[in-house]
Amino acid sequence: MNPGNVIQALDAATGELLWEYRHELPEPLDRFPRALRGMAIFGDKIFFDTTDAHEEPESLARLDEPMTALGGLRGVVVIDEVQRRPELFPILRVLADRRPLPARFLLLGIASRDLIRQSSESLAGRIETIILGGLSLGEVGEDALFRHWLRGGYPLSFLARTLEDSYHWRRLFVQTFLERDLPQLGVTVPAVALLRFWTMLAHYHGQTWNAAEPARSLGVSEPTVRRYLDLLTGLYMVRQLRPWHENLAKRQVKTPKVYLRDSGLLHHLLGIRTQKNLLSHPKSGASWEGYALEELLKVADADDFYFWGTHGGAELDLLLFVDGRRIGVQFKRVDAPRMTRSIHVALEDLALDHVAVVYPGDRMYPLGERVSVLPLTALKEGSKVMPLLLGTRRTRPASRKK
């Protein structure tokens, strides 16, 4: 396998080229000479993934008779793009009930809550759902923190050779997602309208949701805008962080905060291409908050989580409930976080066990009673996260390499 969607067969003894296959790519994909990521040989056929996800019609036609196509298979059977074949779920239920069980099925595809609900209803008691996110900070390493924040967690965006290639990949991803993937899921919202809304939502990243202004800008009703938001939330592109309400004699925020879950897609929609663009952008602080929040939620084994705020200005970016304990988290993109009024108010009003202030530095230190400052890089290992967030582990982490 070679870059450029090329497969070659060579004589192992002499190195002579026996045959070669080149898959021609349409514009603009031919500017990405990436290596192939996988190949399989079955009978007299070779299967491999091309950059443009080219599919053979005869492979798809086999599933027109799913019981015949799947019934005789053994071992682990992988069905990709399962969102395009929801009619397979009742068939899979029959196949999963066979005894002895000759095959297990691994279903891959675009995650949506509607699809997950449909599969759970058809395969109740027979299926486990695993939502796979992008690459985490723990997977790419702390030395790659800024690259990970700028490019996001999608592997081909993060691993692209240049910033321009990464940005271009994300542009193509958004286009394909809106124009091809969503219609396959039965979404009838015009791609242009949803792109405008998604771009507008990027400017609300890290803020409490108010449907009135986006509705006016788009010329649609508030229920329509709410439907757009729920759609992107159900497709795991957006996170709606719910507000927590304490029994207090204070007016508290009752609307969710919205975040784009992948920082790379956020930066694409905001037109941020480089490190200089990111650090000087008005949404830089909100971008860091959302990025750190997503990385923490990937490793924190919390029973539930919210944000909390009052109309008086006090706010807690994240409130975690863990085994009956309350942990507050603030995200600050500063060199040396300090105690704030919001931390004091949250400690008292919410009876917090501890508050962690997460920042992009490399030192861990106490900030006050039940308050500590933690580098984001210290929270990349799941087993160590809760002791750090609770302030019961004081080991100073190794400094990040410059």
Q: Which two tokens stand for residue 293?
A: 């929040």
Looking at residue 9, what is its pLDDT?
73
Residue boundaries of the structural domains of the chain: 6-122, 137-389
0.85 surpassed by pTM: no
Looking at residue 244, what is its pLDDT?
97
Contact criterion met (CB below 8 Å) for 377 and 397: yes
Looking at residue 401, what is its pLDDT?
43
Residues of the chain with pLDDT under 50: 1, 29-33, 35-36, 51-52, 395-402
CB atoms within 10 A of CB 30: 13
- C-alpha span between 358 and 293 (Å, rounded): 9
Contact criterion met (CB below 8 Å) for 243 and 258: no
Q: Which of 301, 350, 356 is nearest to 326 (CA)?
A: 350
Q: Which residues, in sequence order, are CB contacts of 250 under 8 Å at separation 6+?
A: 310, 311, 312, 349
* Complete DSSP assignment for 38-79: -EEEETTEEEE--TT----HHHHHGGGSHHHHHHT--EEEEE
Contact criterion met (CB below 8 Å) for 306 and 243: yes
Contact criterion met (CB below 8 Å) for 174 and 268: yes
Q: Which residues, in sequence order, are CB contacts of 185 under 8 Å at separation 6+?
A: 83, 110, 112, 114, 115, 235
Radius of gyration of the chain (CA): 24
Angle between helix 222-234 and helix 191-202 axes, rounded to 10 deg: 80
Q: What is the dihedral of CA 144, 147, 148, 151, to 10 degrees?
A: -160
Which residues share a beta bridge with 54? none
* Rounded alpha-carbon distances, angstroms, from residue 178 to 80, 173, 196, 198, 265: 19, 9, 11, 10, 13
Coil, strand or helix at 302: coil
- C-alpha span between 357 and 373 (Å, rounded): 5
Contact criterion met (CB below 8 Å) for 122 and 90: yes
Q: Which two tokens stand for residue 379?
A: 């929270």
17-72 confidence digits (pLDDT tens) = 777 766 565 555 444 445 445 556 656 665 655 544 555 566 667 778 889 889 99
Dihedrals phi, psi of 169, to nearest 5 degrees: -60, -40
- C-alpha span between 315 and 305 (Å, rounded): 14
Which residues share a beta bridge with 124? none
Q: Which two tokens stand for residue 322?
A: 């863990």
Contact criterion met (CB below 8 Å) for 367 and 357: yes
Sheet holding 257-260, edge to edge: 207-208, 257-260, 238-241
338-388 confidence digits (pLDDT tens) = 999 999 999 999 999 999 999 999 999 999 999 999 999 998 766 578 888
Sheet holding 365-368, edge to edge: 304-309, 315-322, 325-331, 354-359, 371-375, 365-368
Q: Quote helix, strand, coil % in the chain, to nearest 5.
A: 40, 20, 40
Looking at residue 52, what is its pLDDT?
47
DSSP structure class, residue 35:
P
